[in-house]
Structure formats: structure tokens, C-alpha cells
Amino acid sequence: MAAANRETRIEALVARLDPFCEQIVALQRLPGLAVGVISAGDLVYERGFGVTKVPGGAPVTPDTLFHMASVTKPFVATAIMQLVEAGKVQLEAPVTRYLPYFEMADDRLAAVTIELLLSHRSGMPDVDDYEWDRPQHDAAALERYVRTLGEQRLLAAPGAHFAYSNIAYEVLGDVVAKASDSSFEDYVQAHIFEPLGMTHTTLTVAEAEQSRVARGHTLSADGEVVERAVYPYNRAHAPSSTLVSSVRDMARWAAMLLNDGELDGARIVVPETLARMWTPLAHLHPKLPTQIGLSWFLDSYRGYRTIHHSGGDEGFRSHLVLLPEARLAAVAMCNADFQHVFAPGLATSAALEIMLTPER
């Protein structure tokens, strides 16, 4: 995108996306929404709309911290791939090589590899209850959860087909911990957040700057917007769900991904690793174009390859999308869970449409 044309697109982005997001917030009764757009490594649009809490919350800004839910998973995958690069993990190896205490009531567990877990093709079941109302905070919580899976069975043969599994990512987080001789959270903090300068991002909400943290909301029985009684945090489910971040911090993550795994001299992964993570491994459904790589969902938009992941938990929704060939990305997050229409997805789609639309 030529410099003059890029500047014109950015001007159009501000002029058109501001009112679009304001309309989303008003029509969908969202407490708050934050949106960022990254072009050629620069955060060219950063806006907050609404408030962090109803009633009486502070205005949402690009530094407001939102629970990102399943947008956590690509961080898990990146940590695993760093360990692959370091020779500490092999994608083709069975997960039990790294977690010898991990058992299921299913002999097929022996065929579940790290790659199958990363690509949601392991046959693993999903989490029934995250116990957000009974959170565990100690460092042993993740291994303890993995050890509770002994009575579970696989839902399908390993490698048979795509089936989204949060349990798979709890197990992968434990692999990160054991292969690195660290806790999962400490590893990601030291090897991803700190090198990228994601200074306010955390996997442990209690460690976040509380004045920046948005609260989650839902609808009451009589249709009123109300704050969720509990915040979605439990250390036993940190790898699948507990990323807390802002537009500005997520922009640094996206900029690294758009720059072949490096940002400001910090090399997170080598380009070949990203290429492997973004290689299609299976369709989500035979009739759908969306495919899965290693944690990332793969599609196309207006002729461009798209790499994306969404998140949704009690009180929150989020979405991140990358167009590597266009050097373009968008991220959005809101503190509500009650909309039929996925508001962050609408915001990121609108941003991409504006940035990719030729001037008439």
C-alpha cells in the first residue's frame, strides 16, 4: 500500500469507524468496546467507547484491560513452538512423553500428539465447568486439573476430525510448564509478554492494574445490563482462557506476527515457525471454507489470507484478525456477553473493509 494511499485510508478509517463503533455500542447496549487497527507495524487506530463498568465505570481507553478468553490459545501455541525451536518439545511426540501422569479412560490417548492438541484434532472432550465461582489461584492448579481427567474418554479417534477443545489447551499449558521447568504463566510472561513490551498484559487478573480492568456484563432476567457476579478467572484454566490485555498491548503482539515473528529486536519465533502455525491442517466442517492450523483459524477475505481467533467467556467477547500479505491487523474487545451479533467481529470486519476499499 503506497504511503499516500495508506494515509488516505487511515483518514477514512477514523472518519468511518468511529461512528460505526458508536452505533454498535448504542444499538447493542454494550457497556464498553475497544478497537485497534495495525497497518505496516503501526497502531493507526486506537479507540475506546463506553465504560468499563455499569454503573459508574471509567471511560474505556486503548489501555483498558479486557478478559480475552480464547484469544489466549495462540499464546499457548507460540510458547509450545518456542519450545519446539529449542528442542524441548516435538510436535509429533505423544503428549504423555511430557506429562507421564496424564491418564484417560481411553487407550487411544497414546496416539494423541502435541500437534493434534494444537489443531483441535485430538478427539479431546471440552470443559464442562470452568468453576469461575470457585477459582483456584495456586501454582499447582493446572497440573491438578490435568490429573482429574482420568475418567474422561476421547470423543473421536485422534486425528479423525476437528473438534474444538479447551481441555486440549489446558493440557498444552501443562506441557509448557513441564518442558520449561516453570509455571505456564511465568513462561509466557518471560518469553512473550516482556520481550514484546506488553507491559500491562497478564494471565493472572489479580496481578493486573485494577483501575484498568473492565468488568464483564450480561442481561438480567428483566433485560437490564448488569455486571457479572463473578470474573472469569481460574488458574486451572489459564491456558484456554485467562489472558487479560489491552488494544495497545495486543497491537504489539499483532505487529510481531505481521513482521515474521520479530518486533523491535525481540525475536519471538522464526518465520518458518509462523508458516507452520498458519499451514491448514483440517477443515472445521466439510461444507465450510474455514480451516485450522496450529491454534489459528484460517480463511480468506477479499482475496487476502486471514489468520484469526475469537474469544468469549462470561461477560466478555474478543476478536483478533491478521492479513499478513496486506500487513494489516485488527483487534476488538467488549465487556458484554449477551449479543447475538458478535460485536468485536463486526468492528474488526468494518475496519478491514475500510482499509481495503479502493478510493472512489
Instruction: Report the catalytic residues.
Output: 70
CB 338 within 8 A of CB 315: no
Q: Where does residue 285 rank: exposed (0-12), middle (13-18), buried (19+ CB within 10 A)? A: exposed
Q: What is the DSSP annotation of 133-176?
A: TS---STTHHHHHHHGGGG---SS-TTSS----HHHHHHHHHHH
- The rounded distance, in Å, linking the Cα atoms of 309 and 71 is 6
- The Cα–Cα gap between 120 and 284 comes to 9
What 3 state SS string does 244-258 have? EECHHHHHHHHHHHH
In angstroms, rounded to a whole number, what is the distance separating the alpha carbons of residues 152 and 309? 27
Any alpha helices (H) in the chain, and if so which ranges? 3-27, 73-85, 114-118, 141-147, 166-180, 184-188, 194-196, 238-241, 247-258, 271-277, 343-356
Cα-Cα-Cα-Cα torsion 251, 257, 263, 265, nearest 10 degrees, comes to 160
Instruction: Say how far apart CA 103 and CA 111 lie, in whole Å.
Output: 12
Q: What is the Cα Rg of the chain in Å?
A: 20
Contact 343, 20 (CB under 8 A): no
**Maximum separation of any 2 CA atoms in the chain, in Å:** 62
Contact, 141 vs 45, CB < 8 A?
A: no
If one counts every other C-beta atom within 10 angstroms of the C-beta of residue 129, the result is 9
User: CB–CB of 338/314 below 8 Å?
Assistant: no
Euclidean distance between CA atoms 77 and 56, whole angstroms: 38
Taking the C-alpha atoms of residue 241 and residue 236, their distance in angstroms, rounded to an integer, is 10
